[in-house]
Amino acid sequence: MRPAAVLVTGVSGFVGSALCARLVERGYRVRGATRSASTHGLLPPSVQPVVIGDIGPQTDWTFAVEGVDAVVHLAARVHMLRDTATDPFADYQRINVEGTRSLAVAALRAGVRRFIFLSSAKVHGERSVRPFQADDEPAPADAYAVSKLAAERALQQALAGSATQWTIVRPPLVYGPGVRANFLRLMSAVMRGVPLPLGAIENRRSLIYLGNLVDALLACIERTGAEGRTFLVSDGEDLSTPELVRRLAAALGRPARLLPIPVAVLRLAGFLTGKSAALDRLVDSLQVDSTAIRTALNWAPPYGVDQGLAETARWYSLSGGA
């Protein structure tokens, strides 16, 4: 039986707002957990807001989970390259790990049937030799990834042997309308015609379009076979960095200005400027194998890469890159 009521955390975020809109469209009653009433105006229409305050071990989720059939937990302290927090590791632990644990316990007590947790492909590491599979040994390389893996384990421990069924979804980089951070900066550079020294890179990176991720989350909510499973998801077409630039440039109607600078030179420049981590994300491969979710749930991404890039470019053009 399909769940009728769904609680979504991170409801005003990039993924959360798109998921809520799709859930409402499909006839669900949607409740959105927010930190404060000031964000209620950002929620999609027909979403019932519930203020839960700061997320952590002491969060009171009682009203948020009351009467819902499924929880989709998207809220998290995200990875930041230039983190100014006094103790980011403690923040990751409090929000991502203990916040997930407290929500899982509350969901269990309320009799919630399904709990979908959005994790990250970064729990496998920052580079791949072959496409990662969900049962590969995790190798998180930073505090954010460590916290997401710990949150997965906290969720599994809290719900072990119970009637509340958990599913973990690990996406790679997510792009789409509303995207921020590095992908938005790359779009801006392409749009302005900035020459990019990325033409000699020979890598493969998995991506997932926002619409495909939302569709995968819906499949985890609605279909049998997701119970107690961890899934990696992607668009199904991995691109090299220069190919991504070319396809993105085509979507934006701009030329791709790629300079064939040797990768060794790029790595040296990254080291000298203290930007090795950001450079590695452009140079190294990071692929995921989404066979498990395709097989278990009979799922396939409804959008191709070029469709996803076209929608992202359309949003960028209409919003002025906001």
Is residue 299, in this structure, part of any structural domain at all? Answer: no
Is residue 285, in this structure, part of any structural domain at all? Answer: no
Q: Give the 3-state secondary structure of residue 27.
A: coil
Q: What is the pLDDT of residue 89?
A: 77
Q: What is the pLDDT of residue 2?
A: 64
Residue 27: CATH number of its domain: 3.40.50.720
Task: Encode pLDDT of 113-172 as tens digits.
Answer: 999 999 999 999 999 999 999 999 999 999 999 999 999 999 999 999 999 999 999 999
Give the C-alpha separation, 277 to 282, whole Å.
9
The DSSP code for 185 is H
Is residue 74, in this structure, part of any structural domain at all? Answer: yes
Is residue 178, in this structure, part of any structural domain at all? Answer: no
The DSSP code for 199 is T
Is residue 112, in this structure, part of any structural domain at all? Answer: yes
Is residue 86, in this structure, part of any structural domain at all? Answer: yes
Please, are residues 252 and 189 in contact by the beta-carbon 8 Å criterion?
no
Question: Among 28, 92, 144, 175, which one carries the catalytic annotation?
Answer: 144
Is residue 221, in this structure, part of any structural domain at all? Answer: no
Q: What is the pLDDT of residue 44?
A: 74
Task: Encode pLDDT of 218-276 as tens digits.
Answer: 999 999 999 999 999 999 999 999 999 999 999 999 999 999 999 999 999 998 888 88
Q: What is the pLDDT of residue 81?
A: 45
Give the C-alpha separation, 219 to 294, whole Å.
10
> Is 144 annotated in the active site?
yes
**Which one, of 175, 294, 286, lies nearest residue 231 by Cα?**
294
Q: Count structural domains, the chain.
A: 1
Q: Could you give the strand order of the β-sheet that contains 47-51, starting from the edge strand earlier in sequence?
A: 47-51, 29-34, 5-9, 70-73, 114-118, 165-170, 229-232
Give the C-alpha separation, 282 to 203, whole Å.
9
Total-model pTM: 0.93
Task: Encode pLDDT of 297-318 as tens digits.
Answer: 999 999 999 999 999 999 999 8
Q: Name the residue with tokens 């049998």.
A: 224
Is residue 121, in this structure, part of any structural domain at all? Answer: yes
The residue range of the domain holding 54 is 5-170
